[in-house]
């Protein structure tokens, strides 16, 4: 199947490359000329394991191409994926201006039947708005709308696309359904065929539920600390029950990223707009915010006054295997430390460049773990990078042997044996 993908960001590039990988002919369109030139030269703008080589391979065997012309994109294929950004406004509502701009462009330029597929995360009933908008600008050409939400995790987006738990297809015609089944024919996964509104809701409902699980584990960790239990045992004991499941029950310093915070806020906004006060999700947000604050309190509890103290922060990205700093818990935590007059040196395997763009010279950036920790009053773990789990803590040259582990990557007994004052989450 010939496919155009409009918007070549995290989702759009992964979608375009993987759709080519499974045998489609794909044209990725973006208005950012520099990005398109870079992509044609094999320069991938995002750190995503496996994406670079698949981009190069499919580009070289002509299954994948790039363009800045939306007209070329519309003429190239009958199936057009919209994968532009839908960031949160300050109210939490999703900003759909990019979606509307693209939809109007398609409406004005399309002259033959098209299937417009919404891949971007959009509020429920956006499909209806797309339908109305196209009809407004193009009263003659036949088209169908599809909602095909993505469930990609950063750091594993390529494998998530090629081996999904499910593919959700919100359609309102047999023709669109048949076309979408052909697009995904080479992916062996359950295809959930629904109406458009249900497909749109599945995305927000899924992300919000995953965030809810995390906040539930984080709330439990607070109780564990009060009664001397270990959250790792509690969630392990819970997770064996397949009705609960062990995934997304890891307590830590809270969730970040470009999706959970944004999708939660958008879903709360959507619910308000349709007359339901989703108090439960507001609590999920509050627990996440409190978790970062309680982590700062934990640091104070052990280190006492923070002013003038030197902290080695290990991990800046919002999760391992990504360089993405969007809504990373490290930003709030470092901000709180700096406000108290602390001195911060940070190390992250890949996110330093993106972190510098946000934090600037408010902190210093070490090239290695040893450099970051030299002379520090305490080590603070904020992202569970695999590198950190193998640190030989006995050889760290700290001023005082304190480790505050925001992702429970170390074993408390091990740390005690090695002479450290160790504090984890919920332990
Ligand atoms: C998420 C969803 O998983 C994905 O399906 C959706 O398409 C996009 O949003 P992503 O945000 O890339 O993916 O990363 P994810 O692995 O879900 O982690 C999100 C945040 O939750 C990270 O900050 C991570 O550290 C945190 N997290 C995750 C926890 O704190 N505990 C957990 O058990 C799991």
* 302-317 confidence digits (pLDDT tens): 999 999 999 999 999 9
pLDDT exceeding 70 applies to what percent of the chain?
Answer: 100
**Is residue 204, in this structure, part of any structural domain at all?**
no
The whole-number pLDDT of residue 157 equals 95
Which of ligand 1's atoms lies nearest the C-alpha of 329? 23
**Which residues lie below 8 Å from residue 34, measured CB to CB, with a gap of 6+?**
none
Cα–Cα distance measured from residue 279 to residue 16, given in angstroms and rounded to the nearest whole number = 37
Q: What residue numbers bound the domain in which 371 lies?
A: 210-423
**Is residue 203, in this structure, part of any structural domain at all?**
no
Please say which residue of 135, 165, 194 terminates a domain. Answer: 194
Same domain, 123 and 248: no
**Is residue 162, in this structure, part of any structural domain at all?**
yes
For ligand 1, whether the C-beta of 325 sits within 6 Å is: no
**Is residue 12, in this structure, part of any structural domain at all?**
yes
Same domain, 182 and 225: no
Same domain, 189 and 216: no
Cα–Cα distance measured from residue 178 to residue 198, given in angstroms and rounded to the nearest whole number = 19
Better-scored residue on pLDDT, 224 or 393: 224
For ligand 1, whether the C-beta of 48 sits within 6 Å is: no
Asked if residue 394 has pLDDT above 90, the reply is: no
pLDDT exceeding 90 applies to what percent of the chain?
Answer: 94
The whole-number pLDDT of residue 47 equals 85
Mean pLDDT, to the nearest integer, of 393-411? 95
For ligand 1, whether the C-beta of 152 sits within 6 Å is: yes
Cα–Cα distance measured from residue 412 to residue 409, given in angstroms and rounded to the nearest whole number = 9
For ligand 1, whether the C-beta of 109 sits within 6 Å is: no
262 C-alpha to ligand 1 centroid (Å): 12
**Is residue 181, in this structure, part of any structural domain at all?**
yes
**Is residue 379, in this structure, part of any structural domain at all?**
yes
Contact 58, 44 (CB under 8 A): no
**Is residue 205, in this structure, part of any structural domain at all?**
no
Please say which residue of 194, 223, 245 terminates a domain. Answer: 194
Asked if residue 17 has pLDDT above 90, the reply is: yes
The whole-number pLDDT of residue 91 equals 84
Report pLDDT digits (tens) over 230-268: 999 999 999 999 999 999 999 999 999 999 999 999 999
Report pLDDT digits (tens) over 117-131: 999 988 888 999 999
Q: Which CATH number characterizes residue 147's domain? A: 3.40.50.720
Which of ligand 1's atoms lies nearest the C-alpha of 151? 7
Which of ligand 1's atoms lies nearest the C-alpha of 258? 11
Please say which residue of 137, 168, 194 terminates a domain. Answer: 194
Cα–Cα distances in Å, from 239 out to 129, 222, 228, 406?
A: 41, 18, 20, 21
Same domain, 108 and 256: no
Instruction: Out of 257, 266, 407, give the residue to mutate to test ligand 1, the one with the largest number of ligand atoms within 8 Å of its CB.
Output: 257
Same domain, 190 and 246: no
For ligand 1, whether the C-beta of 210 sits within 6 Å is: yes
Same domain, 308 and 411: yes
Asked if residue 201 has pLDDT above 90, the reply is: yes
Number of domains in the chain: 2
pTM of the model: 0.95
The whole-number pLDDT of residue 76 equals 98
Asked if residue 284 has pLDDT above 90, the reply is: yes
φ/ψ of residue 227, rounded to 5: -105, 0
Same domain, 143 and 236: no
**Is residue 157, in this structure, part of any structural domain at all?**
yes
Same domain, 288 and 175: no
Cα–Cα distance measured from residue 263 to residue 205, given in angstroms and rounded to the nearest whole number = 9
3-state secondary structure 167-209: EEEECCCHHHHHHHHHHCCCCCCCEEEECHHHHHHHHHHHHHH
Q: Catalytic pick from 28, 224, 259, 274?
A: 259
Asked if residue 333 has pLDDT above 90, the reply is: yes
In this structure, the residue with its CA closest to atom 3 of ligand 1 is 153
The whole-number pLDDT of residue 90 equals 84
**β-sheet bridge partners, residue 193:** 169
For ligand 1, whether the C-beta of 154 sits within 6 Å is: yes
Contact 250, 214 (CB under 8 A): yes
Report pLDDT digits (tens) over 142-179: 999 999 999 999 999 999 999 999 999 999 999 999 99
323 C-alpha to ligand 1 centroid (Å): 14
Mean pLDDT, to the nearest integer, of 50-65? 96
Instruction: Out of 152, 218, 255, 425, give the residue to mutate to test ligand 1, the one with the largest number of ligand atoms within 8 Å of its CB.
Output: 255
For ligand 1, whether the C-beta of 7 sits within 6 Å is: no
Same domain, 224 and 135: no
Report pLDDT digits (tens) over 349-373: 999 999 999 999 999 999 999 999 9
Same domain, 18 and 152: yes
Asked if residue 374 has pLDDT above 90, the reply is: yes
> What secondary structure letter does DSSP report for 9?
S
**224 a catalytic residue:** no
For ligand 1, whether the C-beta of 207 sits within 6 Å is: yes
For ligand 1, whether the C-beta of 14 sits within 6 Å is: no
In this structure, the residue with its CA closest to atom 10 of ligand 1 is 153
Asked if residue 182 has pLDDT above 90, the reply is: yes
The whole-number pLDDT of residue 293 equals 97
User: In whole numbers, what is the pLDDT of the chain averaged over residues?
Assistant: 96
> Which letter, b or e, does each residue of 165-191 get, where b requires 16 or more Cβ atoms within 10 Å of its Cβ?
eebbbbbbeeebbebbeebbeebeeee
Report pLDDT digits (tens) over 79-118: 999 999 988 888 888 899 999 999 999 999 999 999 999 9
Same domain, 171 and 28: yes
Same domain, 294 and 251: yes
**Which residues lie below 8 Å from residue 189, measured CB to CB, with a gap of 6+?**
163, 164, 165, 166, 167
255 C-alpha to ligand 1 centroid (Å): 7
The whole-number pLDDT of residue 46 equals 85
Alpha carbons within 13 A on the beta-carbon side of 290:
16
383 C-alpha to ligand 1 centroid (Å): 12
């Amino acid at each position: 199947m010939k496919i155009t993908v409009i918007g070549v960001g995290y989702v759009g590039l992964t979608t375009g490359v993987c759709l080519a990988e499974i045998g489609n002919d794909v044209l990725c369109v973006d208005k950012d000329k520099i990005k398109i030139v870079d992509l044609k030269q094999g320069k991938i703008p995002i750190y995503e394991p496996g994406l670079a080589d698949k981009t190069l391979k499919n580009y070289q065997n002509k299954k994948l191409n790039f363009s800045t012309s939306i007209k070329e994109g519309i003429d190239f294929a009958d199936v057009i994926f919209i994968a532009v950004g839908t960031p949160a406004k300050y109210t939490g509502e999703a900003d759909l201006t990019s979606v509307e701009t693209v939809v109007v462009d398609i409406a004005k330029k399309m002259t033959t039947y098209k299937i417009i597929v919404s891949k971007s995360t959009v509020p429920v009933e956006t499909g209806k708005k797309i339908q109305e908008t196209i009809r407004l600008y193009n009263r003659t050409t036949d088209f169908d709308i599809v909602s095909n939400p993505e469930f990609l995790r950063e750091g594993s987006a390529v494998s998530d696309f090629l081996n999904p738990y499910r593919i959700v297809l919100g359609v309102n015609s047999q023709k669109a359904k048949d076309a979408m089944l052909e697009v995904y024919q080479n992916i062996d996964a359950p295809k959930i065929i629904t109406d458009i509104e249900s497909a749109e809701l599945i995305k927000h409902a899924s992300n919000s539920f995953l965030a809810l699980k995390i906040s539930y584990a984080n709330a439990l960790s607070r109780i564990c600390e009060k009664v001397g239990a270990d959250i790792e045992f509690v969630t392990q004991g819970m997770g064996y029950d397949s009705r609960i499941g062990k995934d997304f029950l890891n307590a830590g310093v809270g969730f970040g990223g470009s999706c959970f915070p944004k999708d939660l806020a958008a879903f709360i906004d959507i619910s308000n707009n349709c007359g339901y006060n989703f108090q439960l999700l507001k609590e999920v947000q509050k627990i996440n915010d409190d978790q970062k604050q309680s982590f700062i309190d934990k640091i104070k509890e052990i280190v006492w006054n923070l002013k003038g103290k030197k902290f080695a922060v290990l991990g800046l990205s919002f999760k391992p295997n990504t360089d993405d700093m969007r809504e990373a818990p490290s930003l709030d935590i470092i901000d709180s430390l700096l406000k108290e007059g602390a001195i911060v040196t940070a190390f992250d395997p890949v996110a330093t460049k993106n972190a510098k763009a946000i934090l600037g010279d408010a902190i210093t950036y070490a090239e290695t773990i040893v450099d970051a920790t030299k002379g520090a009053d305490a080590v603070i773990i904020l992202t569970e990078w695999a590198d950190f789990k193998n640190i030989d803590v006995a050889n760290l040259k700290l001023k005082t042997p304190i480790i505050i582990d925001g992702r429970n990557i170390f074993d408390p007994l091990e740390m005690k044996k090695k002479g450290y004052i160790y504090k984890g989450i919920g332990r």
